Amino acid sequence: MASLLADPARAAMLQALMGGEALTAGELAKVAGITAPTASAHLSRLAEGGLVAVHAQGRHRYHRVATDDVARAIEGMMGLAAVASPRAPWRGGETLRQARTCWDHFAGRLGVAIHAALRPDLEPVAGGWALSDSGARRLRAVGVDLDRAHTAASFCRDCMDWSERRPHLGGGLARGIAETCFAQGWVRRAPGDGLSRRCVNVTPEGARVLREALRVTL
Amino acid sequence: MASLLADPARAAMLQALMGGEALTAGELAKVAGITAPTASAHLSRLAEGGLVAVHAQGRHRYHRVATDDVARAIEGMMGLAAVASPRAPWRGGETLRQARTCWDHFAGRLGVAIHAALRPDLEPVAGGWALSDSGARRLRAVGVDLDRAHTAASFCRDCMDWSERRPHLGGGLARGIAETCFAQGWVRRAPGDGLSRRCVNVTPEGARVLREALRVTL
DNA sequence: GCGACGCTTCGTCAGGGGGCGAAGCACGTT
DNA sequence: AACGTGCTTCGCCCCCTGACGAAGCGTCGC
C-alpha cells in the first residue's frame, strides 16, 4: 500500500487528483512528466490498489481518487511529510498556500479563514461539528445546499491543513460551500497543469460575498 | 516520506514499535527477519526521516515511534491498507484482533469494548470527547490519573481500529487506562517477538475489574 | 471508411535500493 | 588489560522497478 504512494510519478498524479477533478491518463502523464505508456502502467497499479477509480468515456479514461477514505489518508501523509521534513517551500508554494482545493473542499489560507469565520456557528458533536440555526440561515442565503451536505458520510469535520498547520473544514458542508463558490463564479480554478491545478483564485466579487455574507477575512 | 513506509523490513519494524515499547536495534532486526547491518541502515533512515526517535543507553540503542502524529499517520495507513486490500487474515491475526496495544493505548476487541463501555459517560467536544463526572469518578476509583491525562495533546479522541473497522479511544485518557491496567497487572504483554509483541492478555482479575468497575463486556 | 487520436500491451534497458559478510568502533564485563 | 557484545560502516552483488519505443486496439472526426 505505502509503496503505491512512494513513487514520485504516482505521487504527482495523486496530488493532482487531490484537486478533486477527474483527469485523463494523458493529462496525468504530463503532470508527472512521463510518457503515456509509463503513466498507463502506474494508473493501472493505482486502480488495482483501490486508490483511484476509472471511468471510461469515449476514447478518454477519466481517473479520480476512489473514496474520501483514500483522500483523507493521502492528506494525512502530506501533513506528516510537511511536519517531518520541513524543507524549502514548495514549487510555487506561495500560490498553493493561499487557496487550493483539498479533495472536494477548500484548503490553504482560504480554507482556514472559512473555518475561523464559521467557528462561532459550529457546535461540537461526535466526530465533527454541527451548524447552528443562524449559521444555517447565512449559508442557505448564499445558496449552499445544506440538505445535500447532510447526506455525506460526515457533515462537517476538521481536516488538517498541511501548509497552514491548522485545521480547515471538510465533509459535506465544506464540499457544499466549495460547490457554491465555483457555481457562482466566486472562486475559479487556476489554469495550468500539475500541482497548480489545485490552486484557486477568489474573484473580487467572491471576496466581497465571502466577507459580507460569511464574514470571512482573508 | 511514503517510501520510508514502503519497505517490508521497515514496515515490520514500525509495526512492532507501534506497540509503544522502545526496542533495541537487535530486537528490531530479528522482528524484521534481517541481519544487524541491514537493520542499522533502515533505522538510520527512519530516524533521519523523523519517524523514530533514538535513545542511546549503554551499548543498546532504543528506538521508538517519534511522535503521536507519526503514530496516528501510520495507524491511518494501516486502516487504509486493511480496507483497500482486504486479504486473508494476518499471521496470528486472531490473537492480534482480540487485544493489542496501539501506540500507547489499547486496540482490537478490547479497545472497542472500552469505547462502548465508556460511551455513555462521554460528551462530544471539539476534536474529541469529554468525560462526565460519573465517568471520572469511576475511572479515578480504579486508579486512572485523570490530571495527567488532561495534560496530553488530546484528552480523548477516536482512533480508527483497522481490525475492527470501528473506532477505539485514543489520547491521554486511553493512555492512562492502559497504564493503570499494566501497572495493576490486569493486562499483560504477550511474550514473543515481532507483531505478537503488540498482543496483550487480560488476566482473570483484570477481566473482573473491567467488567465490574467499568462495565466493559468482552 | 480512412486517418487522427487516446490509451494500452509488449519487449528491452538501466538505475537504485536492499541484502549480506567482513571489518571497525563503543561500551561493559571479568 | 583483555575479552565479549551490540551496533555501525564499508564494499559488493543482485534483483526489482521504472523508464522508453514500437506496435496493437478502440473511438471519434472529415
Q: For B85-106, write each residue's pLDDT tens digit.
A: 665 455 557 888 899 998 889 9
Q: State how far Cα A110 lies from the chain centre.
A: 12
Q: Work out the number of other CB atoms within 10 angstroms of the CB of residue A45.
A: 15
Identify the segments of chain B with pLDDT beneath 70: 85-92, 192-195
In this complex, which residue's CA is closest to the C1' atom of nucleotide D18? A38
CA distance B77 to B72: 9
Nucleic acid strand D within 7 Å of A59 CB = yes
pLDDT of residue B74: 87
Please state, as a whole number, how many other Cβ atoms lie within 10 Å of the Cβ of residue A212.
Answer: 10
> Is-contact A111 A183, C-beta < 8 A?
no
Residues 6+ apart with CB under 8 A from B98: B108, B109, B110, B199
- Nucleic strand D within 7 A of Cβ B3: no
CB contact at 8 A, B66 and B52: yes
b/e B74-95 (16+ beta carbons within 10 angstroms → b): bbbbbbbbbbbeeeeeeeeeeb
pLDDT at position B41 is: 95
Q: Exposed (0-12), middle (13-18) or buried (19+): which is B56, by Cβ within 10 Å? A: exposed
Contact B49, B7 (CB under 8 A): no
Q: Find, among B76, B170, B162, B182, the residue nearest to B114 by Cα.
A: B170
Kindly state the greatest CA–CA separation across chain B: 54
Q: What is the pLDDT of residue A36?
A: 94
Q: Measured between alpha carbons, how far is B114 from B119 in angstroms, rounded to an integer?
A: 8
| Predicted confidence (pLDDT) per residue in A86-126, tens digit | 654 555 578 888 999 988 999 999 999 999 999 999 988 87
How far A167 CA sits from the closest chain B CA (Å)? 10
Give residues with Cβ within 8 angstroms of A129, minimum separation 6: A122, A123, A155, A156, A157, A158, A169, B126
Chain A residues touching residue B5 (CB < 8 angstroms) = 2, 6
Which residue in chain A is spatially nearest to B11 when comparing CA positions?
A2
Question: What pLDDT was estimated at residue B153?
Answer: 81
State pLDDT tens for residues A196-210.
778 899 999 999 999
When scoring B10, B67, B75, B80 by the number of chain A Cβ atoms within 10 A, the one with the most, hence best to mutate, is B80
The 10s digit of each residue's pLDDT in A7-38 is 999 999 999 999 888 999 999 999 999 999 99
Which chain A residue shows the shortest CA-CA distance from B66? Answer: A84
Residue spans of beta strands (DSSP E) within A31-99 = 52-57, 60-65
Compute the average pLDDT of residues A75-80: 84
Whether any strand D atom is under 7 angstroms from the Cβ of B44: the reply reads: yes
Rg, chain B, Cα only: 17
Q: What is the percent of chain A where pLDDT is above 70?
A: 94
Residue B194 to residues A105, B19, B39, Cα–Cα distance (Å): 41, 10, 14
**Of A15 and A85, more confident:** A15
Q: Show Cβ contacts of residue A64 under 8 Å, excluding neighbours closer than 6 positions.
A: A17, A20, A21, A22, A23, A52, A53, A55
Query: What's residue A193's pLDDT?
Result: 62
Look at residue A33 in the predicted model and tell me its pLDDT.
92
With CB atoms and an 8 Å threshold, state whether B73 touches A50. Answer: no
pLDDT higher for A93 or A188? A188
**Who has greater pLDDT, B3 or A69?**
B3
- How sure is the predictor about A65, in pLDDT bands with cuts at 50, 70 and 90? very high
From the Cβ of A115, is strand C under 7 Å away?
Answer: no
φ, ψ dihedrals at A136, nearest 5°: -60, -40
